[in-house]
Structure 1
């Protein structure tokens, strides 16, 4: 296999050496930006961490700002996939099982949102929002706002089924989200060394949040 040549195995494109080097640079840049911030991170540091030359980094991304954009917006893929699948994920859930499904959803949402790297990225984006306002707005659109819209669509569907009483799906989405992750985000935005909540904490916090949510929205 030669650099830049795509090899197909059983009809599937295998990553090239260029793909692997690009991924290594993004991974190294992510670690540096999250640990040091934008200003303190230098291209030569990223290159050394990725076992690449500075010229390779520049050839792949152009400059530090473009690489920073790649790190920030590349991290939205998980939120985008979650949001795309969410509204229809309850379609086959029996009405009686919806509370259990909401608890499972809340646990997953909390565990993901309260992960230290996710909180560190959010702190980074907020910290650089004045310098890169369009980037911050795009991140918000592709991650938090997109997930909130998916919650709203889910609750609209559950309201239409008569499982929940949902006069305002967007408001219901906000209530659900902030009950589940609000305290974790508050801590994570200010406490740099906050640890990820353990399984027992996730279960207790998420289940209690769903209990409060259902008290207001169950028919």
Structure 2
């Protein structure tokens, strides 16, 4: 629905500009050009609007389909490379990093914020990654006794060098060459650690 999408786009700008506490349904209505009643008809509360905005930020994260990709299931190096690039590309736009920064900064005052951010976005992506790792463990491509731990290790190999300095506002965004190098190294480390010895 175009109107809903326009409201969510405006809501994202309002949350990033004013923070969660400073954002309001009225500000979103004004920013989107929609009637106040229209915003309330679409979203029953600011919390519901925030959750929907988070889902919108995460919706294009392509990790969710990886467990059904036959080539990725047959060759874990291919699958992990695709996953790695997807993660890196997801965090590349400044809006994704800004949203994460806002959630962290306001999380102490609004404990539901980090929970909603996680449940609406990262949790489904993490479940998809864990499911993929479990499947390649079951088909014998890799030997992964703890898929959840392996998923967190893989994300750490990507996010530590490429994301967290940006979240705290230190340094410049990495170049595409640096992103590619980090993904390749992360895949090699996963393959070295979990490569089947048999």
Same fold by TM (over 0.5)? yes
CA contact (8 A) 1:47 1:53 kept: yes
The Cα shift of 1:86 comes to 2.1
Counterpart in the other structure of 2:190: 213
Structure 2 partner of 1:32:
14
Q: Write out the 4+ residue segments of structure 1 that deviate beyond 6 Å after TM superposition.
A: none
Query: What is the Cα deviation at residue 70 of structure 1?
Result: 2.7
- In 2, the alpha carbon distance for the partners of 1:93 and 1:30 equals 33
Cα deviation for residue 136 of structure 1 reads 2.5
Instruction: Write the distance in 1 (CA, Å) between the matches of 2:73 and 2:102.
Output: 41
Decide whether aligned partners of structure 1 residues 71 and 192 sit closer, same or farther in structure 2, where only a CA change above 3 A counts: farther
Which consecutive residues of structure 2, in runs of 5 or more, have no partner in the other structure?
none
- The more displaced of 67-76 and 166-175 is 67-76
What's the CA shift for 1:42? 4.4
Partners of 2:138 and 2:38 in 1: CA distance: 54
Structure 1's unaligned 5+ residue stretches are 1-18
Match of 1:199 in 2: 176
What is the TM-score normalised by the length of structure 1? 0.74
Return the structure number with greater helix share.
2
Give the TM-score normalised by structure 2.
Answer: 0.81
Matches within 5 A, 1:122-201: 122-191=100-169, 195=173, 197-201=174-178
- Please show how residues 37-76 of structure 1 align to structure 2 within 5 Å: 37-76=19-58
Superposed CA RMSD in Å reads 2.7
Q: Is the 8 A contact 1:180 1:210 kept in 2?
A: no
Shift of 1:190: 0.8
In 1, distance between residues paired with 2:180 and 2:195? Answer: 21
1:110 matched to 2:81? The reply is: no
User: Which of structures 1 and 2 has the bigger CA Rg?
Assistant: 1
Aligned residues: 196
Task: Summarize deviations over 1:148-197 as a string: whole Å, max 9, x none.
Answer: 222222122212222212121111111111112223231132118954x4
Q: In 2 relative to 1, CA 98–128 (structure 1 residues): closer, same or farther, beyond 3 Å?
A: same
Q: Which SS does the other structure have where 1:164 is aligned?
A: coil
Structure 1 residues 64 and 153: alpha-carbon distance in aligned structure 2, compared to 1, 3 A threshold = closer
